[in-house]
Amino acid sequence: MTDARISNPVERPRLRRTRALLAPAVDNWLARGYLVVVAAALGFFLCAVYVLPDPGFAGIWPLMATAPTSMLALLLSTPAGYSSLTWLSPLTFAAGTALAGLFNAVLLGRLVRRLRVRQPRPAV
């Protein structure tokens, strides 16, 4: 009798590929720490927008924490006819910044994995 909760690796190749792509974002402490900084910046931004009476420049913290990817994404997603950012809702900005932070964490994790010094193994 098979349990429906147990997944067969052959059944879900897309899920395996996604996990393999996102694994560098959480497999070392530097990338995890970066994700904590991004989450704190996003939390501050969302708190400032929805709780505080005047958020001011609260959006600069998540934007700078996830630079340069977030700046590039913001420039590419801006409609050509708009000269201001009134079209950008806070939740759309937060989602885009979270994706940019995740992308940066994957790149940071891959860099750490590549730069990791391997211990020499004795010959058998």
Distance, in Å, from the CA atom of 39 to the CA atom of 94, rounded to the nearest integer, reads 10
Contacts of 41 (CB under 8 A, 6+ apart): 61, 62, 64, 65, 66, 97
Q: Which tens digit of pLDDT belongs to each residue from 81-111?
A: 666 666 678 888 888 899 999 999 999 998 9
Rg, C-alpha atoms of the chain = 20
CB 35 within 8 A of CB 100: no
pTM (two decimals): 0.74
Encoded tokens for 50: 């929805």
Q: Where are the beta strands (DSSP E) in the chain?
A: none
Q: Which tens digit of pLDDT belongs to each residue from 31-51?
A: 999 999 999 999 999 999 999
Distance, in Å, from the CA atom of 114 to the CA atom of 106, rounded to the nearest integer, reads 12
How many helices (H) and strands (E) in the chain?
Answer: 5, 0
pLDDT at site 33: 94
